A = this chain, B = another copy of it.
Amino acid sequence: MWRNYMAATRMVDSEIERQLQRDSGMPTTYYEIMVSLSEAPDRTLRMSELADRSRFSRSRLSHAVARMEQEGWVERRDCPSDKRGAFAVLTEKGFGALVSAAPGHVAQVRSLLFDALSEEQVTQLGEICATVRKASPDPFGPGCVG
């Protein structure tokens, strides 16, 4: 059963990743970062807020934003109220890349997971995931270091 779980989740993950990388030239993680930014007011978030929402370590986010800045998808801006702080802003180009990427990505998710499962199974899976998340003290929560 555990092996079954591993095989299934790895397959889904890698297929999602492959599709997005091939069709849009970005890893899933960058896509998720851009989604978080796109939902924020002014498409702007503090780095640490963005890290918490995406459940990334600060380091990981910093590297990722550096790479995305290089692609022109994101910009950094200084925070006036806290001189240590930095904002990440989704650029117009980044928003465009997100909009282009979304349909294929959503379709892939749908085809791998939702089309395969019955409505009942989707509901069950949802509750299972919620249970699993609640059971463990989330190590990437507010107290996350790195």
Residues 88-126 of A at the B interface (beta carbon under 8 Å):
109, 112-113, 115-117, 121-122, 124-126
What is the interface residue range for chain A against chain B? 35 or more
Determine whether the beta carbon of A121 is less than 8 Å from that of B126. Answer: no
Shortest CB–CB separation between residue A103 and chain B, in angstroms?
15
Decide: A4 and B126 in contact? CB cutoff 8 A: yes
Distance in Å: Cβ of A80 to nearest Cβ of chain B: 32
A128 near B135 (CB under 8 angstroms)?
no
In this complex, which of A112, A126, A133, A138 has the most chain B Cβ atoms within 10 angstroms of its Cβ? A133
* Chain B residue at minimum C-beta to C-beta distance from A136: B112
Q: Which of B2, B8, B133 is close to A11, meaning CB atoms less than 8 Å apart?
A: B133
* Chain B residues in 8 Å Cβ range of A131: 116-117, 121
- In the complex, whether A78 has a CB less than 8 A from a CB of chain B is no
Report which A residues bind B (CB closer than 8 A): 1-2, 4-13, 15, 32, 55, 109, 112-113, 115-117, 121-122, 124-136, 138-140
The answer for the CA separation of A112 and B13 in the assembled complex, in Å, is 19
Which residues does chain B contribute within 8 Å of A115, judged by CB atoms?
A: 135
Q: Known pairs A9-B129, A116-B135. 17 more at Cβ < 8 A?
A: A4-B129, A5-B125, A7-B55, A7-B133, A8-B130, A8-B133, A9-B9, A11-B55, A112-B135, A112-B136, A115-B135, A117-B128, A121-B124, A121-B127, A121-B128, A124-B124, A128-B128
